[in-house]
Amino acid sequence: MAHDHAALLKHIKADMPSDELLQDLGDLFKIFGDTTRIKIMYALYEDEMCVCAIADLLGMTQSAISHQLKVLKAANLVESRREGKTIYYRLADEHVKSIIAQGYEHLTE
Amino acid sequence: MAHDHAALLKHIKADMPSDELLQDLGDLFKIFGDTTRIKIMYALYEDEMCVCAIADLLGMTQSAISHQLKVLKAANLVESRREGKTIYYRLADEHVKSIIAQGYEHLTE
DNA sequence: TTATCATATGAATGATTGCTCATATGTTCA
DNA sequence: TGAACATATGAGCAATCATTCATATGATAA
């Protein structure tokens, strides 16, 4: 089973984050790994927006958008506030923008 | 079908990247959205490493690692060089690190 | 209260995907 | 050339997941 690299592995292993954190990192990026959710986050880039406006913008079902907003909210990527019947969503913090910006750079550099 | 927000949508739509780019962005982040690939990229964070060393490190099959390295390479996230029978992989550019770092910050802030 | 609007949610389904297993390719050394 | 080693790859399966459809919740106005 392969040649010897025990010394190297010991060193690398010491510098790696915990399995739990690595799992959480994967789970976080998984959320960015869907075009619909990317579009939603881009829609909220400059300002808050209500659910049906997002649905209109993306040409998708209100239900589909609502499901995705729930995913985004569970990951603390968006927040919401109610105003009468309408619920407005907005990006939760600057990390959302900077993560997307880094990906954008990688693609367009 | 929802209340009126034609004016808002027109404005937002003008600022959105093309559908193709948004699709590419999603596809890029999808690659970061897997724990095994995250681990591989972390393993390569400081230095290049051969396939079997990565497999040893993660306690996974050589085949599984090889398949994932192919995915990472197709997305220009890793590069490789051959030295005899061994093939060494390394991170392709700094975006890999900065994307992961942003995700890390979001989780641990 | 009743009707209507805005949003949320549960179940079902089709599509995507990560791993395994078997095997192929490519390199070195005897 | 043949054997052993390091890596790559194709097919198949199990698990995950995004959307749809039907329905529920919550709020406003008459």
Within 13 Å of residue A8, how many CA atoms lie on the same side as its CB? 16
Asked if residues B41 and B89 have their Cβ atoms less than 8 Å apart, the reply is no
Among residues B67, B77, B69, B70, which one has the least CA distance to residue B29? B77
Contacts of B35 in chain A (CB under 8 A): 22-23, 25-26
Distance, CA of A2 to C1' of D19, in Å: 45
Contacts of A29 in chain B (CB under 8 A): 29-30, 32-33, 38, 99, 103
* Minimal C-alpha gap between A80 and chain B (Å): 18
Nucleotides, chain D, CB distance < 7 Å: 5-11, 17-23, 26-28
Among residues B100, B106, B102, B82, which one has the least CA distance to residue B43? B100
Contacts of B37 in chain A (CB under 8 A): 26
pLDDT at position B2 is 58
Q: What is the rounded radius of gyration, in angstroms, for the C-alpha atoms of chain B?
A: 19
Q: Residue B42: which residues within 8 A CB-CB, separation 6 or more?
A: A16, A17, A22, B100
Q: pLDDT digit string (tens) for A16-75?
A: 999 999 999 999 999 999 999 999 999 999 999 999 999 999 999 999 999 999 999 999
Q: pLDDT digit string (tens) for B21-75?
A: 999 999 999 999 999 999 999 999 999 999 999 999 999 999 999 999 999 999 9
Instruction: List CB-based contacts (under 7 A) with strand D.
Output: A 2-3, 30, 33-36, 60-61, 63-64, 67-68, 71, 82, 84-85; B 50-52, 62-63, 66-67, 69-70, 80, 85-88
What pTM, to 2 d.p., does this model score? Answer: 0.93
Residue A1's pLDDT band, with cuts at 50, 70 and 90, is very low
Identify from B3, B18, B31, B35 which residue to disrupt to test chain A contact, counting A C-beta atoms within 10 A and taking the largest count.
Answer: B35
pLDDT at position B1 is 42
Kindly tell me if the per-residue pLDDT of A2 is higher than 70.
Answer: no
Dig out the tokens for B76 from the structure: 């220009």
Asked if residues A16 and B39 have their Cβ atoms less than 8 Å apart, the reply is yes
Q: How far apart are CA B32 and CA B36, in angstroms?
A: 9
Q: pLDDT digit string (tens) for B8-24?
A: 899 999 999 999 999 99
Q: How far apart are CA A13 and CA A68, in angstroms?
A: 36
pLDDT at position B5 is 80
Q: Is B30 helix (H, G, I), strand (E, B) or coil?
A: helix
Residue A109's pLDDT band, with cuts at 50, 70 and 90, is confident
